Every structure is written in structure tokens, then in C-alpha cells.
Amino acid sequence: MIRATVLEAAHPAIGAALVENSTFVAHPWRRLRNTFLSMQRMVGADDATREREAARLNRMHARLTGTDARNRPYDAMDPGARAWVVATLFESSVTMFRLSGQPLEQEFTEELYAEFRAMLVTMGDEPGQLPDTLAEFWPYFDRVVAEELENTEAMRVILYKLFDRLPAPPLLSGLPTLWATGRALAAPVVGVIAVASLPEPFRRRAGLPELPGAQTLMQGAYLAVGLTRFLPARWTEPENVIDLLSLTPDPDSDDPRARSVAALYSRMRRAGALLRLLSPLPGQPEPPAHAPPFTGAASAHRQESEDFFHQVLDQTGNGSLDWPDLAAMARELASRLDLDEPEETRLYQAYADWWRELQPALDTDGDGSISAEEYAAAAPSLAGPALIRVAEVLFDVTDKDGSQHIDADEYRALFRTAFRRDTSTAGEATYTRSAFVKEFLAFMAGRQRTTPFDPLLAEA
């Protein structure tokens, strides 16, 4: 997945779309789950499911247009770019087997290539965007690598920034020190392996560094991954792995794994507290006499506002609030609820109206985006008529049966935290329209962070 994503991001059009619209920097684990779920649907045996998912992807891609940093237009519906995404998935799958000591037989590889080409047909594209035969594919792949790929910003973010800043998955969110230590050790290694696995002509043309021993390290990593074929299948199934990473420790959950992890965390915290008691930290220095003027409640409120801005509003992680951030919220909610037309368009339109209300109210310097400082200075302006409309539309599309109540099943559809696991309070939770709108407004204005909306839109 990492290798294929890097090759996709090196395509100028795809890289520009990722940088401008994707949530992979701020919410990588959520993006991974959504991508895997989409792939499950696209390669499943059910024709209706594949066609429905293809239609959803086409609607999503049709909304991703713009210009890159060099004023070159990009369009996520470009047939050549979409074919390259399929090509990278196929080529990286074959390469993974080869480097892990399990090269695929020629006949199987040809069948696999035919299945990947069929994905383009399902998406409504001409299969001719990829060569007809496997023998013709390899020259095509080499040509794109040699002539079209670039050292894009999106590719550099993935290779050199994403893993350095990767937030902990929900499973390890309660162990920040352990995660930070492991990330500091693993991130450089992952980057070296990812670079070494890329085609050599592209590494040379893009000026990517290759450290001594990188090829050996990369080969060893792939061979080690290949050994997982000897483990029980249930341990290595991608859905089980992603579901485990998505597990939020909760002593009150109906999932026994969540309760077990919560109990383990509790014991670890008690052990840590005992250690700190036996070995107290040095005393904290006295605050300076010239303390900054922003102190006390005002400072705490400002910090809370900025945290909310970066964790919830800045969905793309670029440091500002723009239309792509609100579009990402609409996209995540539509995916959670598995919306079709016209409900999906209603939700996007409600968010678009909110952006048109927000921008003139909060963008005080007129640069077209809203900074964390501008938001903190005018946070109450978020809860205007357009945001109320967003809440009402979200209620309507969640209330599938039109009962004017969100029942337990509808609650689970919106607030589930993984593929099939329910939230711990879903059995009892219901919402009236007024209660739902009130809670959503309180959350989106940054006034209440204890609602189910927080993990829905703030989770990594």
C-alpha cells in the first residue's frame, strides 16, 4: 500500500489532488480504513456492490478538480490518471510477492492483470487506458515511470513527513510515550525501505537518496513480511488487522477486546504512577516574572479553540480551513452513512453553503482561507444559519425511515468506529431532531467535545 501510494502521488495530477483534498496527513488511519473498505467492495463477488461503489467513487472524484502549484489543471476523473492508480496497485502487488520470495506464476499474473483492467470497466473507463496484455503492460509502466512521474509535494510528504508525524491509532492512543518512541525508531526505517523499493530510474531522476545497505534492508523487510504466510490466516487478514488498530480501549464496551485492552492500560498507568512516586521528577521551575499577557481562562480557551481547529476543522492538515476541509467532512459522513444520490449531494451542498457563510465572516485578511488565529477570534460565528442547515440535512439522511428519531441502528450507522463494531452506547442511544441539531452545533462550534461527533470527525 505504501509503495503503490508513493507511485500514485508521484503522478502530477494525482499528487496535486492528494495535497489539495486528501485527509491522509491529518487522518491517516481513517483514510486507510476507508480505502481498504472501498477496495473490498471493488474486488468482491457481488456485481451490484461493485457497481454501487464505482458510482460512489466517480461522484467523489468528479468533485476533485483544480490547479497545482505550477498552475497545471488536474481532474480526478482524468482517464489516464485513474488507469495509473490501477497500474500501481497491480504492479506493487506483483512486486510484493516477488520481493518476499513468492514470485507469482505467469498464468496467475496474467489473470490478475485482467482482473485489474476489469476495474476500469466497472468504473466506466475504457480498458484501453491500460495495455491489452501483460507483455505490453511492462513497457507502459516503465514509460510512465521514466517520463511522467515527478518529485511531487505529496510524494515527499508521504516519504519524509507522514511517518514522522503519524498519530497513534486508537488502539495505542492511551500510550503516547510508547507510540512516540516506536515511531521515532520506525519512521526513518520505513522511509528508507519505501525509497529503496521504488523503480531505480525514478529514484535517480527524482534525486531520492539511497543509503548504504538500503537494498539489503528492503529485501530483508519484504522477506520478513513474506514469512507471515506461515501464521494463522485470521492473524494476517487485512480486515482483522485494521479492525484491531481501530479498536478504542473502553471498559464499558460490548467488545471483549476493548475491555481487555482498557484493563491492560489501567494496570500500565498504575505501574507508571508507582514508578513516578518512587522516582519523582525534578521540581518545575518558577514561571518567569514577565509571563505573557494571555493567561488563565483566556489562554485555556484559546488553546482549546486551536486544538479543535487542528483536530476537527483542518481535515487536510495544511494548517488552514478551506473548502476542501469541509468537503472532506461531507465525504466522511456520506461514506459512513453509505449515501446514494440525491442525499449525498444534499449533504455536500449544505457544507458548501456553510463555507460561503464562513469565509466572509472569518477570513479577515482576505486570503481565501481561515487560519487558526482567525477562527479562535471569531469562533461563535460558526454556529450560523448555514451550519444549522448542515445539522438538519445530516439528521435527515441519517434518519432513514423518516421517523423523526434516530434509532439505535441509525445511530450505529453514523457513529460506528470500525467496519462492523458498534459504539458502546449504541444500544441505548436515540436522538430527536432538536437534540441532534443542538449537540451537532455545540460540537462544531467547539463548545462541547464529549459527544460521539468527536471521534467521528477528529479521529486519526
* Per-residue pLDDT tens over the stretch 79-114: 999 999 999 999 999 999 999 889 999 999 999 999
Considering the domain architecture, whether residues 382 and 258 belong to the same structural domain is answered as no
Residues 6+ apart with CB under 8 A from 191: 159, 160, 163
Radius of gyration of the chain (CA): 24
Whether 232 is in a domain gets the answer no
Considering the domain architecture, whether residues 94 and 173 belong to the same structural domain is answered as yes
Whether 72 is in a domain gets the answer yes
Residues 6+ apart with CB under 8 A from 321: 309, 313, 314, 358, 362, 369, 370, 371, 375
Whether 289 is in a domain gets the answer no
In whole angstroms, what separates CA 296 from the centre of its chain? 35
Q: Is 281 left (phi over 0), alpha (psi -120 to 50) or beta?
A: beta
Angle at which helices 47-62 and 106-122 cross, to 10°: 60
CA distance 83 to 271: 53
The tally of domains found in the chain comes to: 3
Whether 265 is in a domain gets the answer yes
C-alpha cell at 43: 474486488
CA distance 3 to 197: 7
Considering the domain architecture, whether residues 168 and 247 belong to the same structural domain is answered as no
Whether 285 is in a domain gets the answer no
pLDDT given at position 105:
96
Whether 234 is in a domain gets the answer no
Boundary residue ending a domain (166, 195, 227) = 227
For the chain, 460 residues long, give each residue's pLDDT as a single digit of tens. 889 999 999 999 999 999 999 998 888 888 888 888 888 888 876 889 999 999 999 999 999 999 998 999 999 999 999 999 999 999 999 999 999 889 999 999 999 999 999 999 999 988 789 999 999 999 999 999 999 999 999 999 999 888 888 888 877 777 788 888 999 999 999 999 999 999 999 999 899 988 899 999 999 999 998 888 888 988 888 777 877 777 777 676 666 776 776 777 677 667 666 655 665 545 544 544 444 554 555 566 677 778 888 888 999 998 999 999 999 999 999 988 889 999 999 999 999 999 999 898 888 888 889 998 888 877 655 678 999 999 999 999 999 989 998 988 888 888 865 443 334 444 456 789 999 999 888 888 777 776 778 777 887 7
Closest CA to 444 of 367, 388, 396, 402: 388
Considering the domain architecture, whether residues 110 and 209 belong to the same structural domain is answered as yes
CA distance 114 to 204: 31
Q: Sign of torsion, CA 377 380 384 386?
A: positive
CA distance 269 to 331: 37
Closest CA to 54 of 109, 119, 107, 108: 119
Considering the domain architecture, whether residues 74 and 166 belong to the same structural domain is answered as yes
- Triad 77, 79, 81: Cα angle to 5°: 85
Whether 277 is in a domain gets the answer no
Considering the domain architecture, whether residues 151 and 210 belong to the same structural domain is answered as yes
Considering the domain architecture, whether residues 247 and 306 belong to the same structural domain is answered as no
Whether 291 is in a domain gets the answer no
Closest CA to 456 of 171, 248, 166: 248
Domain at 332, CATH number: 1.10.238.10
Considering the domain architecture, whether residues 121 and 159 belong to the same structural domain is answered as yes
Considering the domain architecture, whether residues 249 and 223 belong to the same structural domain is answered as no
Cis status of the peptide bond prior to 385, with omega within 30 of 0: no
CA distance 129 to 132: 9
pLDDT given at position 90:
96
Boundary residue ending a domain (204, 227, 250) = 227
Considering the domain architecture, whether residues 26 and 168 belong to the same structural domain is answered as yes
Considering the domain architecture, whether residues 401 and 254 belong to the same structural domain is answered as no
pLDDT digits (tens, 9 = 90+) for 380-437: 556 789 999 999 999 999 999 899 989 888 888 888 654 433 344 444 567 899 999 9
Q: Output the CA torsion 129→131→137→140 (10° steps).
A: -60
pLDDT digits (tens, 9 = 90+) for 368-380: 899 988 888 776 5
Considering the domain architecture, whether residues 265 and 155 belong to the same structural domain is answered as no
Structural domain that includes position 256: 240-271
